[in-house]
Amino acid sequence: MTLGTHRAAVCTALEGPDCVTTKHVPNVEAGPGTVRVAVRAAGVNYPDYLTRGQYQLKLEPPFTPGMEVAGVVAECGPPTEGSTPWPIGTPVIAWTPSGGFAEQVVVSNDAVFALPEPFTYAEGAAFTVAARTAYHALVERGELHTGERLLVLGATGGVGFAAVQLAKLLGAQVVAVGSDDAKLAAVTAAGADHVVNYRDADLAHSVAALTSGVDVVFDAVGGDAATQAIRLLAWGGRYLVVGFASGTIPIFKANRLLLKGVSVIGVRAGEAARMYPKEFQRSIAVLLGWASEGSLRPHISHRFTLDDASAALATLSERRVTGRVVITIENQS
């Protein structure tokens, strides 16, 4: 059987976005319990920046980046026990460890979900990774409650933006922190109660002027902002360590945690999904329910073609993004 080829953005060396080029690669047949998706759009996430080998998960080149896609079902492999075949042509969202920057990708059947009706393919491709990370952090790890005060560091990035949106759905009061007024305006439009530009004003003083203390900190940034933010927690506060976009891992003094009864909580949404698949499936069902109701929708600031995948990664790494970056694909495979 001749399967032919399709186009994919392939990373050939761990030397940054310039090492990602579009090539023809062999098609892969869907095996038992898998689905081949004809990709219409792929989300660009921070872990895709492993083209520099600077993420927890390191792949050896050559490989194709891309963790989440949206498209249509092109082929279903033989069903395994407990799985239900997807009808050919069904619009779907899919997760994959890698391989999403391509005209097609084969994924596990349990990593495929129906595209919410209000969503475009681009929105579908930009939704689940950020929204699931925010949900895992705020609900499953941080146990954020209605009326609590949340401080979001990196609120203009993909995961931070999703955290702001989700926190407002949960009934929290949100202080969003970023470094660009235009980007923060988009976060305000998404529901943030207050915004702080830490480049224009002292972070600790600005937040202290807004509230007597925050209950939860969502930190996707690390660095100097983290050492200031932990001082802003109220008694019994929870500090959610989501990522280190600044490139600097903060160090917290144990006496400060003791004095306020503070908990520092690590957040690894991907690993949690692998360890607790049933909880992962339940959280995705909740998020897709909100999406179908129109209550939760990703904010996309940049779109690129497959041939410009390297530029998409560079835009993300240079922090020019508000919300999400998406690669749109005119599928010819």
Single out the residue of 329, 331, 333 nearest to residue 122, CA to CA. 329
User: What percent of the chain clears pLDDT 70, i.e. is strictly above it?
Assistant: 95
Q: What is the model's pLDDT at position 83?
A: 77
Give pLDDT tens digits for 119-137. 999 999 999 999 999 999 9
Q: What is the model's pLDDT at position 55?
A: 53
pLDDT confidence band for 216 (50 / 70 / 90): very high
Contact indicator for 178, 217 with CB cutoff of 8 Å = no
Give pLDDT tens digits for 164-194. 999 999 999 999 999 999 999 999 999 999 9
Single out the residue of 226, 231, 228 nearest to residue 241, CA to CA. 226
Give pLDDT tens digits for 237-253. 999 999 998 889 999 99
Q: What is the model's pLDDT at position 58?
A: 67
Verdict on whether the full-model pTM lies above 0.75: yes
CA distances from 254 to 21, 162, 243 (A): 46, 30, 20
Contact indicator for 103, 7 with CB cutoff of 8 Å = yes
Over the chain, what is the mean pLDDT?
A: 93
**Position 325 pLDDT exceeds 90:** yes
CA 290, 243, 121: angle at the middle one, nearest 5? 40
pLDDT confidence band for 142 (50 / 70 / 90): very high
Q: What is the model's pLDDT at position 2?
A: 55
CA distances from 87 to 10, 37, 255 (A): 29, 11, 57
Single out the residue of 294, 310, 272 nearest to residue 136, CA to CA. 272
User: What percent of the chain clears pLDDT 90, i.e. is strictly above it?
Assistant: 85
Range 279-307 average pLDDT: 96
- Please name the residue ranges forming H helices in 94-202: 121-125, 128-135, 158-169, 181-189
Q: What is the model's pLDDT at position 7?
A: 96
Q: Which letter, b or e, does each residue of 269-308 get, where b requires 16 or more Cβ atoms within 10 Å of its Cβ?
A: bbebbeeeeeebeebbeebbebbeeeebbbbbbbbbebeb
pLDDT confidence band for 57 (50 / 70 / 90): low
pLDDT confidence band for 1 (50 / 70 / 90): very low
**Position 151 pLDDT exceeds 70:** yes
pLDDT confidence band for 100 (50 / 70 / 90): very high
Give pLDDT tens digits for 62-78. 999 999 999 999 999 99
Contact indicator for 39, 6 with CB cutoff of 8 Å = no
